[in-house]
Amino acid sequence: MDSTKYIYWQDQGLWLGYLQDYPDYWTQGQSLEDLESHLRDLYQDLTSGEIPGVRKLAELSLR
């Protein structure tokens, strides 16, 4: 995968964020670039299969 969406915000001098597909797993950084680096590492950890029971966001069609 070449890209993925993430949600981020700044709070008390830190940048916080999580991957849109994995909303239960947050990380932080000292700058936006640092946060993005941590999000890349988090993505690798979550998609490697080495962490059991990873929760993921999905969309359900009601029709």
Write down the domain spans for the chain: 6-47
Sign of the Cα torsion 24, 40, 17, 61 reads: negative
DSSP state letter for 13: T
SS3 content of the chain, % helix, strand, coil (to 5): 25, 25, 50
DSSP 16-40: EEEETT-TT-EEEESSHHHHHHHHH
Percent of the chain with pLDDT over 70: 98
Query: In tens digits, what is the pLDDT along the chain, a chain of 63 residues?
Result: 599 999 999 999 999 999 999 999 999 999 999 999 999 999 999 999 999 999 999 999 999
pLDDT digits (tens, 9 = 90+) for 3-17: 999 999 999 999 999
Task: Name the pTM for this structure.
Answer: 0.88
What is the pLDDT, as a whole number, of residue 29? 98
